[in-house]
Structure 1
């Protein structure tokens, strides 16, 4: 199995920042307990409070894909529907 790094950028509507932040924070303890999750850290841009970023490391792409179909992610999507302006996800492979 090859380790997978995920960088997920989430941009909230300016008037929905608190909602998006609260919903993202709910994901942390559940995801950190999932099989294959090595790291799951939420960041916020110091100059743009509407920009959040998850930095994740997973044992494999297969285990990350299991995470992506988990009920708590579906609940997040439903709770933040219309509150997220942009979501960009990058799958990356560690080099060194």
Structure 2
């Protein structure tokens, strides 16, 4: 399993449009092969910080998602709303036994 955590800060005036566009992207992403979950969360400390938390069956499924037409449309729509670039962390599903 592959996890993705993508954090974005949006401009306050773009917040509502960002949420609306994200809902469309999320609905389409849920239909993709290998999508286990794809959720958007807002920070409790800063209402303009959003975090996508994703789970994918395989890295190939995630790669296919990155090329999906609805994701391209979402990137184009959301770009002017962002206050800074999105920070993306990809995490493997393997557990650490001991630290």
Given the two structures, how large is their TM-score scaled by the length of structure 2? 0.87
Query: Over aligned residue pairs, what C-alpha RMSD do you find?
Result: 1.2
Trace 1:23-38 onto structure 2 (pairs within 5 A): 23-38=21-36
Larger radius of gyration: 2
Once the 2 structures are TM-superposed, how far is the Cα of residue 48 of structure 1 from its aligned partner?
Answer: 1.1
Structure in which a larger fraction of residues adopt strand: 1
Trace 1:1-96 onto structure 2 (pairs within 5 A): 3-86=1-84, 87-94=86-93, 95=95
Once the 2 structures are TM-superposed, how far is the Cα of residue 77 of structure 1 from its aligned partner?
Answer: 1.4
- Name structure 1 gaps, 5 residues minimum: none
Aligned pairs, number = 94
